[in-house]
Structure 1
Amino acid sequence: MADRRFIEEFLPIRDIGESSSKEKRIRKGHLSTLHVWWARRPLAASRATIFSSFIPSETNSKKISNSSDFLSKLSKWEYSDDLTILQKARKKIFESNKETWPKILDPFTGGGSIPLEGIRLGLDVSCVDSNPVAVLIQKCALEYSMKYGSIIKEPISQSIETRKNKLIEDFEKWMKWVNEKTRSEIEEFYPKKNPNEILVGHIWCRNITCQNPKCGLSIPVFNQYWLIKTKKEKASLFPFVKDGKIQFKIVGDNYEKFPEGFNPSKGSISNGNIICQSCGFTIEKKHTINEYYEKRTTQKLICSIFTKKGSAGKKFRLSDSEDLKILENATKFLENKINQIKSESNIDPIPNEFIITPDNKEYVKGGLYFNFTTVVLYGKTKWSDLFNPRQTLSLIVFSDYIRKAFSEMLNEGYEKDYAKAIVSFLTLAIGRLANYGSELCHLNPAGGGRIANTFGVHVLKMVHNYMESNPFYESGGGWNTSNEMIKKFLKNVEICPPKPANVKLGTASNLPHSNEYFDAVITDPPYYDNIAYSYLSDFFYVWQKRILYNIEPDLFSTPLTPKSHEIISNLPLIRGMDKNVAKEKFDFLKSKKDFEESLSKAFQEIYRVLKKDGITIVVYAHKSTDGWETLIKSLLKSGLVVTAAWPLNTEMKDRLESRDTAALASSIYMIARKWEKIPLGFYRDVKKELEVYLTKKLEYLWSEGISGADFFISSIGSAVEVFGKYEKVVDDSDSSISPIKLLNDTRKIVTNYAINKVIRGEFASEISQMARFYILWRWAYGNTKVPYDDARKMAQSVGIDIEHEWNKGFIVKENEIISVLGPHERKGEEMSKSPELIDNLHNTLLLWKNESKESIEKYLTEKGYKNSEIFKRVAQAISESLPMESIEKKWLDGFLTGFKSDDSQGGTQSKLF
């Protein structure tokens, strides 16, 4: 095979990125619908990068263009099951690799995106993961579906044949069997009020007693009161006081009219503080949490959601005494069912394992907790606490019949491994049922009254008014939806070659493979402190082990998922104790240093198992430069040499815009080889090489539409291509230059390039450091908040010490977060005497907002900006960097319309009004 691969020379990043971001909206047949796993890589990007890693580089421009066009097509979802396209890709890989199928490994397999696309392209795939929930997903998606899910052609006559997928048929058979058995036991607890209704679910709320001694009402806790809020329909709950109680009625389209002055978006709780709807008394967050923890709160069923046969949309009805009686009966039935299962199966069906805390104990008030499990502060300290009695009942009965289904299959003569495969898919369906069936789910009014699942984000936080779904509802979070999702996935992958992945429970720092075994290692390693996979996946593990403990004992023999081998820095995630004190007291907590050492071992193992002419792709998308520095140091220690780096857009635009803190749209795909490094590089030479290469690479990234924070992060991978090929970089006095210093140099190069591009060149050198920082911030982060260390490094790149500037002007520090204020968040008197351009611009905008034309002219004349092209260009650059909905942008655009052309001096100048 050619020494250089196509991916090392070129990649159509715009097209692949577009396919990847679009893919996030796909549900039918997509791997993501099989079971929750966090931060899965897009299939489009995985497919394209794997393919381009196994075909040779091209020098002919026409061949490059043809390969690029094919890559763009291959990355599209609509071609993921197109046999013609896939066979062409497989043929190209096979011929480019001496007519052998390359062997690839993903040592951090997670949700399985990378290996799935390897199988789809015909490769021999191996997977390793330390998490049993992830391994179960992988066995279903990458092993069982390939082993048992091939199409069987059966002749009906001489001219007609039928195509069957036995796995799909048998899976559907047992899904229905489990559903019918469960329905026969508990359907009575999900009744219809009339034959034309279909119950969707229920709305619950927590209740807390007003602490005003003169009031004492039970306050229903709602974040907001909307039930449905779409363009076509709007309805909400309306709270009112009657007979000494806070009661509700439903208002809106097809109900009573909205009361005048009522705002359904304003609930009874805001930022943890609860306001009594009767007396107006405020219960502070600290007291609220204490009341919850001490179990001095209650929960109440408020209303039911249903649809009517033959009509679209959701309907709502207040709950009544009949609904409460049904709940009472369900609770009694649950008690009996628990005892029955204990007697028959010798297991406790209730997941009473505690939600683990940093000290590996059940949370107690005032103790340690993680920032991603704040639900424990409210007394939800066990996994069973996250489900109400009826939700618990449905989960334990479905689980019970899945266990029984395994025995039934064996009795019917199924091979044990095949029965295990079907039961594993059924167990994934239980995971989805739990995800849509906990007290942490909520109603999504803007989504037409649909349920929002537990893991919309990767945290477990308190939901005060939650939605309970009907598990027998044919859509949404019901059992039947799980059935359809899994069937569609199996249908999508039946076109894959029958080459099951080799799936192993293990650790990336001690791989179970021989030296130089793989042609490629392609992986998405953990992101520093971003996602605590082992802790979050316990949510699913506690249910899955109750089904598979005897069927998959290698995966489900421990009380909770193993934590010791997870590569993570969880020390930054603890709350309730100083981090340094916590590390001394609990040495099993993992610091940045621990993370770096573990990741270094993993990369060393990757180096060991990779063939000499093999290729590695490392995918990384952490937004903090701290996380990136740790990754780079670990990668360089392993001996791998980075030969290319590409940013691929992998996030939906609307998802990014909804965030309050900085996020990346792109993941960086770094390509590395097992090549000999250059023994020594001199800093002065390396720095020049860095400037020349980065400028060329930045031009390409800019032309491909990479911008903002992604532009900075993308440059890191490109910089490592330069300095990572040296064993050692030294200065003129023979002192070693650290990668951190070289990354700082990179930031300065990128900063200067970006400023020149944003300002459009000619005035960049004439503006102050503070103005450069402000423009750069708005371009990179917009209005979002940024971790202190990232902000510090950006400030450093323009020559500012951020510690000397915060809380004096537009830079504000709150805890470990930095934000940059806009003009609408500042006061004119604070800025009027400042010589700083940004302060003058902000003050001008305040004057413009107050419609004081004469004051603006006078002020700008005094400051020397009345006819300043620099002033105008800075204002334009900031405006062009901000989203359309930004208040600052609207003010800037309004103000800029006051600049008009003046040709009186033979040229074009800009002036105000």
Structure 2
Amino acid sequence: MDAVTPTSTVVPFALKDTDSLIERVWPAQKISVETQKERKSGQGQTLTALGSYWKGRKPLFLVEACIWGALLPATGSDEADLEILDLLLGMSDDQIVERIKSGLSLEDIKKYASKEEYEELVETIEEAGSRKERLRSLRREEKNRISAAIYARMPYSARVAIMSRPEEVGIHDLIESRLPRVNRHLGTTAKTVPELIEQLGVMRFGHAPKVADAFCGGGSIPFSAARLGCDVYASDLNPIASMLTWGALNVVGADSTRRKAIEKAQELLADEVDKEITALSIEHDADGNRAKAYLYCLEARCPQTGWLVPLLPSLIISKKRKTIVRLGPNFLKKCFDISIEEDVSPADLKGAEIGTVQDGSLTYMLDGERYSTSIKTLRGDRRGPDGTTANGLRLWSKTDICPSPDDLFQERLYCIQWITADSLKKGRQETFFAAPTKQDLRREEKVIEIVRQRLPEWQSKGFIPDSLIERGEKTDEPIRTRGWSHWHHLFPPRHLLLLGLIREKMSSAEMCLDFCQMLNITSKMCRINSSEGQGGAVKYGEVFYNQALNTLLNYAVRGSLSVLKSGSLHPPTFSIGRNCAVATHDAKGIGYAADLFITDPPYADAVNYAEITEYFIAWLRKNPPAPFRDFVWDSRRALAIQGDGEEFRRNMVEAYGAMTRHMPDNGMQIVMFTHQSGSVWADMAQIFWGAGLHVKAAWYIATETTSELKKGGYVQGTVILVLRKRSGGEAGYKDEIVQEVRAEVADQIDTMMGLNQRLKGNGRAENLFEDADLQMAGYAAALRVLTRYEKIDGTDMTKEALRPRRSGENNVVGEIIDFAVQVANEHMVPEGMAPKLWGGLSGGERFYLKMMDIETTSLRKLDNYQNFAKAFRVSDYGAVMGSMEPNKASLKAAKEFKKSGFEIPEFGPSATRAVLYAIYELENEVEGDEVLSHLRDMVQSYHSKRDDLAAIADYIARKREKVDETESRAARILHGLIRNERLG
């Protein structure tokens, strides 16, 4: 792309040695809310249209918040600096009107409006003899003016839920009308966002900022940087990642003229292929109906009866249409005939939920007898001495496109969904289901014959894959469960024909992106869901609905119309005009310079992209179009940085060391990673030590989801680490460093809590920083101190970072970081709790009472509970949890413990345990005198602890007032009993 002519009229290097805003303050809670809104928009996310199969993209809003935070200076006025950052991210109260998406509800108005605003927006009318409230009919401008003030009082999460995302309304439009205000604060003269970015770069680095990402993945970081106006260099070892990043910059980032040309080429290719498919007469029946989808299942011969049985987990085709499969025994051929019945009775529909596969076994009825055989037994699965599983399946050959007659698993077409001839060209098509006829089966044979004839030539030219599936953690699945040995075995003949025709005609890089979207819906791994679609219609899934290669017993094969339509990409347009480059190479071998390295490394990554993307690489590795010819079309698994442990640490040190060497002395790195374990911090400290980096700040961004695919322990939070080059060669001793850490952590948290209080004093309804942010800031403060030193107790920490660890050895880094957490927790005294009382509580008590404070807000996120459990060293916090649902987590109430439930290690013989038991008794109508008697028995030195017990009861009464009124009342009664009891 062409470089932009410099427009800077600012002083070069004026900010060279100035701290960035993200090193000082950063509104992590507001950024979390905006980030989650973007993530939850699903297919509405800007880059998802390029490839929904890449699951690990960081939200664009989060990346842009990092870039602005890195470029903006910390001027010494935190509140003024945050106001400017809010404006640049579209989060300011001044920008509410432009972002208003849906009007305020009557409930919102009652809750947040002033009396005057309420009267302006709401009127009372007489209707059917009663008075009712309704919204007044106002001009849009007037309504928005009044509503904006109400929005500004709402909690930020509630406000954003009913507003458009900044990029939906045009982030540059939100910002540019307010640039005069920004210029006055920064001393810039910009008239556009790219000009402002360039001027900040000149002031800090002497030129427009250069941003690089050595783990570019799905392209979020390079795209966000380029969209703002930075020069960008992106690379990844994986060619699919680099291709997606190229697409973000050159397709989503294309101007309108280029986009029209891309879309025209897409339409021409689709029309050409469609005409060829139609001419082959393989998708139309004699009445002109056209197939929308073909439903296939595996068949296997039962070893007990010798019958060939379809493997169908369910006999339901469509719940909405009450359509099911009927199996009729064919005693002559020892198999089952299949018919399709529509509009069956509720009883028949219910009975069809149970198919011929139950609990992993082939199970069916024949002549009144029930037969059942485990599918593992059918395959002959056996475990070898090395722990691997083998079986008796035949490995398919390079020339195979369907099972041979002797294979255990056969593939059977059992149903076709047809589009009626007269609705083919209508916007709303009509469809019906039918069992295949003899003519349909002849068309199947025709397809197989065409593919067999073309396969040798197409494989030699790369139009159909000819590569073996390399064994691995994810790629073993199709080999082990089906005997598929080459990548083209994962595709049905119909799709081999369709994809081969498309691949033969592809000529541009943009088409590769379309093609990969088609690959994601064309293999034998596409699920059939009888009730998942809109209105309960049948929905056909994607291959990568999760991050694995899942073989299926029955699957959908979409007709060519659906496939061709899926490849027509229409993402939003964001014209990019800076210098952008994309390459494929190892992060450890980078050779390009950048001012900001922003990366999302593969730490403990459950997504094995190195293996699963070979599914796509197999189709593109031969004769890819320019500019992809310079890419290395191989996953290069051996070079991929994955997992954890010693090898991971060494690779990461090499990668981040290379980035450090290629940035200026005042450059910066921002590292994003998923925080799942406390040991992560010690590992990351050692990695940054080895790479010559000094941690300056850390921020926590909540990214939870309640997706069915992520239930169970997959709660996520992203930590943003800010790093600079380490200067000097300081040495220190552990006992001195511990005290330095204590002071640094305390100062950091006191500063952030003070900013919360100042902003609340200015009318803000909620905290800027919540407890999770304060915890992360405590970690960061510890790492700031630690990573400044090259030697601790005489040990060279750079060399120590690369030394293999021995099991059970003491880790000075881990000890200091744990200490930092304790210091942070001491400073995070819940509102309404006396610091002296807090200091005397056990970890279990602190956890319970702290989370009780958090439950008075809307922040019932499971990762909050997880993080505080780790911080307070509570090993089994689940024992005191009433709910572990990700976004609706909650503690047990006193009544939920029941009598036996109070004997848990998390509380021990503590004051909090005694108070909760007393509240439990009061709720069960035990007399007050008896409750006090039990309390005296439970608490040693009761008289000296009366004040603490009363304070805890009072605290619970106040915290439970709006959460559990009954418990609050009982706690208030207990407080009075303790205070008013007569002591002998």
| Alignment TM-score > 0.5, same fold | yes
1:218-233 aligned at under 5 Å gives the runs 218-222=309-313, 233=320
Q: 2:582 aligns with which of 497, 503, 508?
A: 503
Q: Taking structure 1 as reference, are residues 234 and 545 closer, same or farther at Cα in structure 2, changes over 3 Å only?
A: same
Secondary structure in 2 matching 1:610: coil
Indicate if the aligned counterparts of 2:742 and 2:823 stay in contact, CA closer than 8 A. Answer: no
Q: Taking structure 1 as reference, are residues 533 and 311 closer, same or farther at Cα in structure 2, changes over 3 Å only?
A: closer
What are the Cα deviations for residues 569-628 of structure 1, in whole angstroms up to 9, with x where unaligned? 3xxxxxxxxxxxxxxxxxxxxx72111111101111111111111121111125344455
Count matched residues: 784
Give the match for residue 134 of structure 2: none
| CA drift at 1:654 | 3.2
Q: 1:77 aligns with which of 167, 170, 176?
A: 167
The answer on 1:338 being equivalent to 2:455 is yes
Give the match for residue 609 of structure 2: 533
Secondary structure in 1 matching 2:670: strand
Give the match for residue 31 of structure 1: 47
Q: 1:632 aligns with which of 685, 697, 703?
A: 685
| CA drift at 1:11 | 2.1
Q: Taking structure 1 as reference, are residues 185 and 877 closer, same or farther at Cα in structure 2, changes over 3 Å only?
A: farther
Cα distance in 1, alignment partners of residues 498 and 842 from structure 2? 64
Indicate if the aligned counterparts of 2:226 and 2:576 stay in contact, CA closer than 8 A. Answer: yes
What are the Cα deviations for residues 435-473 of structure 1, in whole angstroms up to 9, with x where unaligned? 111111213432333332111221112222322222312
Question: Which AA in structure 2 matches 1:599?
Answer: M
Give the match for residue 559 of structure 2: 470
Q: Taking structure 1 as reference, are residues 88 and 705 closer, same or farther at Cα in structure 2, changes over 3 Å only?
A: same
Q: 1:108 aligns with which of 199, 209, 215?
A: 215
Give the match for residue 659 of structure 1: 710
Indicate if the aligned counterparts of 2:249 and 2:576 stay in contact, CA closer than 8 A. Answer: no
What is the percent sequence identity of the aligned residues?
Answer: 17
1:413-562 aligned at under 5 Å gives the runs 423-444=508-529, 445-448=531-534, 449-473=538-562, 478-485=563-570, 488-489=571-572, 492-493=573-574, 495-497=575-577, 499-513=578-592, 517-548=593-624, 552-555=628-631, 560-562=634-636
The answer on 1:191 being equivalent to 2:279 is no
Cα distance in 2, alignment partners of residues 433 and 855 from structure 1? 68
Query: For structure 1, which segment, 128-137 or 370-379, has the greater mean C-alpha deviation from structure 2 after superposition?
Result: 370-379
Q: Taking structure 1 as reference, are residues 832 and 520 closer, same or farther at Cα in structure 2, changes over 3 Å only?
A: closer
Indicate if the aligned counterparts of 1:729 and 1:737 stay in contact, CA closer than 8 A. Answer: no
Indicate if the aligned counterparts of 1:125 and 1:501 stay in contact, CA closer than 8 A. Answer: yes
Cα distance in 2, alignment partners of residues 839 and 375 from structure 1? 55
| CA drift at 1:741 | 2.0
What are the Cα deviations for residues 22-66 of structure 1, in whole angstroms up to 9, with x where unaligned? 223254682221134341111111122112211222333563243
Cα distance in 2, alignment partners of residues 872 and 238 from structure 1? 63
Q: Taking structure 1 as reference, are residues 91 and 784 closer, same or farther at Cα in structure 2, changes over 3 Å only?
A: closer
Give the match for residue 317 of structure 1: 433
| CA drift at 1:338 | 1.7
Indicate if the aligned counterparts of 2:223 and 2:245 stay in contact, CA closer than 8 A. Answer: no
Q: 2:739 aligns with which of 669, 672, 685?
A: 685
What are the Cα deviations for residues 733-761 of structure 1, in whole angstroms up to 9, with x where unaligned? x9997322223334445667789689999
Q: Taking structure 1 as reference, are residues 835 and 726 closer, same or farther at Cα in structure 2, changes over 3 Å only?
A: closer
Cα distance in 2, alignment partners of residues 757 and 281 from structure 1? 65
Question: Which AA in structure 2 matches 1:374?
Answer: E
Q: Taking structure 1 as reference, are residues 94 and 500 closer, same or farther at Cα in structure 2, changes over 3 Å only?
A: closer
Indicate if the aligned counterparts of 1:274 and 1:285 stay in contact, CA closer than 8 A. Answer: yes
Cα distance in 2, alignment partners of residues 627 and 273 from structure 1? 42
Give the match for residue 76 of structure 2: 59
The answer on 1:370 being equivalent to 2:370 is no
Secondary structure in 2 matching 1:259: helix
Indicate if the aligned counterparts of 1:661 and 1:785 stay in contact, CA closer than 8 A. Answer: no
Give the match for residue 303 of structure 1: 415
Secondary structure in 2 matching 1:441: coil
Indicate if the aligned counterparts of 2:221 and 2:598 stay in contact, CA closer than 8 A. Answer: yes
Cα distance in 2, alignment partners of residues 647 and 182 from structure 1? 49
Cα distance in 2, alignment partners of residues 89 and 276 from structure 1? 67
The answer on 1:207 being equivalent to 2:299 is yes
Cα distance in 1, alignment partners of residues 966 and 357 from structure 2? 38
Q: 1:13 aligns with which of 16, 25, 28?
A: 28
The answer on 1:123 being equivalent to 2:208 is no
The answer on 1:257 being equivalent to 2:345 is yes
Give the match for residue 272 of structure 2: 181
Secondary structure in 2 matching 1:206: strand
Cα distance in 2, alignment partners of residues 250 and 771 from structure 1? 62
Indicate if the aligned counterparts of 2:953 and 2:975 stay in contact, CA closer than 8 A. Answer: no
Indicate if the aligned counterparts of 2:679 and 2:814 stay in contact, CA closer than 8 A. Answer: no
Cα distance in 2, alignment partners of residues 758 and 703 from structure 1? 16
Question: Which AA in structure 2 matches 1:218?
Answer: V
Question: Which AA in structure 1 matches 2:510?
Answer: F
Indicate if the aligned counterparts of 1:183 and 1:472 stay in contact, CA closer than 8 A. Answer: yes
What are the Cα deviations for residues 73-114 of structure 1, in whole angstroms up to 9, with x where unaligned? 178222456457366332322233237311222122222211
| CA drift at 1:398 | 0.9
Indicate if the aligned counterparts of 1:440 and 1:462 stay in contact, CA closer than 8 A. Answer: yes
Question: Which AA in structure 2 matches 1:593?
Answer: E
Secondary structure in 2 matching 1:438: coil
Q: Taking structure 1 as reference, are residues 834 and 339 closer, same or farther at Cα in structure 2, changes over 3 Å only?
A: closer
Secondary structure in 2 matching 1:612: coil
Indicate if the aligned counterparts of 2:293 and 2:418 stay in contact, CA closer than 8 A. Answer: yes
TM-score of the pair, normalised by structure 1: 0.72
Q: Taking structure 1 as reference, are residues 785 and 717 closer, same or farther at Cα in structure 2, changes over 3 Å only?
A: closer
Where does the alignment leave 5 or more consecutive residues of structure 1 unmatched? 152-164, 358-368, 407-422, 570-590, 812-819, 846-851, 882-891
Indicate if the aligned counterparts of 1:441 and 1:468 stay in contact, CA closer than 8 A. Answer: yes
Cα distance in 2, alignment partners of residues 312 and 529 from structure 1? 42
Query: For structure 1, which segment, 118-127 or 615-624, has the greater mean C-alpha deviation from structure 2 after superposition?
Result: 615-624
Q: 1:742 aligns with which of 816, 827, 837?
A: 816
Secondary structure in 1 matching 2:711: coil
Question: Which AA in structure 2 matches 1:64?
Answer: D
Indicate if the aligned counterparts of 2:416 and 2:436 stay in contact, CA closer than 8 A. Answer: no
Cα distance in 2, alignment partners of residues 674 and 273 from structure 1? 59
Q: Taking structure 1 as reference, are residues 899 and 723 closer, same or farther at Cα in structure 2, changes over 3 Å only?
A: same
Q: Taking structure 1 as reference, are residues 773 and 17 closer, same or farther at Cα in structure 2, changes over 3 Å only?
A: closer
What are the Cα deviations for residues 637-696 of structure 1, in whole angstroms up to 9, with x where unaligned? 2121121222234x46333x6523323443222111124257134233134235414644
Indicate if the aligned counterparts of 2:909 and 2:938 stay in contact, CA closer than 8 A. Answer: no
Q: 2:59 aligns with which of 10, 21, 42?
A: 42
| CA drift at 1:431 | 0.8
